[in-house]
Structure 1
Amino acid sequence: MQWIPFLLYVVVTSFTPGPNNIMSMAFASRTGYKNTLRFILGVAAGTFVIALLASFFNLLLYSFLPTVKVWMGILGGVYLLYLAMKMLLHKPGSNPTHPDKLNSFFSGFLLQFINPKVILYAITAVSTFIIPYYQSNGSLLLFSLFLGFIGYLSTSSWAFFGAVFQQFLAKYDRAFSIVMGLLLIYSAIVIFVDL
C-alpha cells in the first residue's frame, strides 16, 4: 500500500473547508466545544458508515456513479443552501444555551449521506488506496474506522478553533454568520458546477 499518498489524501481532504468543518466551527463558536461534540460524533459515525459502505459496495457504486453523483450533488447542494440560509438568517445575540436543532448527532450523521465530499472521499480512498491491497472484511472495517476517526479529528479541530475564539466570534457574530453562510453557498456552487 502507498501509505504516504494515502495519508496525505486523507488529511488534506478531511481538514479542508467543507460542510462538516464549517458547521462544527459555527456551532462551537456559539455553544462551545462540549455542546458541539454530539454533532462531531455524528459526523465521525456517518463517515465510518459511508467508508464501510464504500468498501463493501465499491464496484456496485462505480457502475452507477454518474447517476449517484448527480443526485447526491443535487441533494447535497440543496442541503448546503438550506444550511447557508440558516447561517445567514441567524440573529446575533440569540440564546447560546439552546443550540440549533442542526447541532445534533443525528444531523451530523445524516449530513454524511448527502455530502458529496465525504461520499467521493470514501469512494476514492477505498478504491485507490485500500481495495487494491486489502480485501478482508476485518481490514475494510479497520480502514473504515480509521477514516471515521480522521473525520472526528478534522471536525473536532475546527470546532476547537470555533470554541477558542468564541468571545471574538461572538463580538462579530453577524459578520461571522455571513462569512460562514457565504462559504456554504460557495460549497454548494462548487458542487453544482461539478455536476
Structure 2
Amino acid sequence: MTIELLTALATFAFVTVITPGPNNLMLMASGTNFGFWRSIPHMLGVGLGFPMMVVGVGLGVMQVFDIWPASYMLLKLASVAYLLWLAWKIAHAAPPASAEAAPEGRPLTFLQSAAFQWVNPKAWSMALSAITLYATGRDLAAVLWVAGVYVACGTISTTSWTVLGQQMRRLLRNPARLRLFNRVMAVLLVATLVPVLWPAG
C-alpha cells in the first residue's frame, strides 16, 4: 500500500470512527453511567471487534449479499430491532448509585460489544465502504492494512468518547439529570437509524 493510499485510508477511517454513531453514543453513555475503567471491556470490544468484522467482510461476507440479496434486508431488520432494544436499555439505565444493586446496571462486555458490530448499521456501511475503496482486490494484505488502520483510529475514538462520558458524569450526579441524559442518548441512538431506514437519494 502506497503512502498516499495509506494517508487517504487513515483519514477516511478516522472520520468514520470519530463521528457520532451507535458505538460512540453507547460508549459516551457507558462512560457517564459506569466510568472509564468499567467501560474498558466495552471499548476493547468496539476497538477490536470492528476491525475483525472488516477482515470478515473483506474475505468473503460481501459475497453473501451478492449471492443472496435478501440477506442484507434481513440484516437491516435485525439491526433496527436490536438498536431499538439498546435504546430502551439506555433510557432506563440505573443511576451510578444504584447500578451495583441492579442486575442490568453493568456496561457491555467485550464479547457483547464485539458482537454488536455485526448488527450495527454504521459499522456495516463503514466496513463495506472501506473494503470497496481501499482493498479493491480483497487480497489478505490489503484487508489487513484496512483493519490495522481501524485498530489505531478506533483506539483514539473509543477512548475519546468514553472519557467525554466520564467527564459528563461529574455534571450528572443528580439522578434526574442523569435520567434526562440517558433518554437523550436513547433518542440520538434511534436517530442514527434514519439514514438506514430512509437513505438519501
Given the two structures, how large is their TM-score scaled by the length of structure 2? Answer: 0.83
Specify the alignment match of 1:176 in structure 2. Answer: 181
Of 10, 15, 19, 1:12 maps to 15
**Inter-partner Cα distance in structure 2 for 1:164 and 1:109:** 25
Q: Which moved further from structure 2: 118-127 or 61-70?
A: 61-70
The alignment status of 1:129 with 2:134, answered yes or no, reads yes
Specify the alignment match of 1:193 in structure 2. Answer: 198
Q: Which moved further from structure 2: 143-152 or 48-57?
A: 143-152
Note if contact 1:51-1:148 (Cα within 8 Å) is conserved in structure 2.
no
Deviating beyond 6 angstroms after TM superposition, the runs of 4 or more aligned structure 1 residues are: none
Against the structure 1 CA distance between its residues 151 and 100, is the aligned structure 2 distance closer, same or farther, given a 3 Å change threshold? farther
Of 42, 45, 50, 1:47 maps to 50
**Inter-partner Cα distance in structure 1 for 2:62 and 2:95:** 48
1:34-113 alignment runs, 5 A limit: 34-57=37-60, 60-61=63-64, 63-64=66-67, 66-92=69-95, 94-97=97-100, 100-113=105-118
Note if contact 1:77-1:189 (Cα within 8 Å) is conserved in structure 2.
no
**Inter-partner Cα distance in structure 2 for 1:175 and 1:36:** 21
Report how many residues are paired: 193
Q: Which ranges of structure 2 fall in alignment gaps of 5 or more residues? A: none
Against the structure 1 CA distance between its residues 194 and 115, is the aligned structure 2 distance closer, same or farther, given a 3 Å change threshold? same
Identity %: 23
**Inter-partner Cα distance in structure 2 for 1:3 and 1:141:** 12
Given the two structures, how large is their TM-score scaled by the length of structure 1? Answer: 0.85
**Inter-partner Cα distance in structure 2 for 1:89 and 1:6:** 38
SS at match of 2:198: helix
**Inter-partner Cα distance in structure 2 for 1:61 and 1:152:** 30
Q: Which amino acid aligns with 1:75?
A: A
Deviation at 1:23, TM superposition (A): 0.8
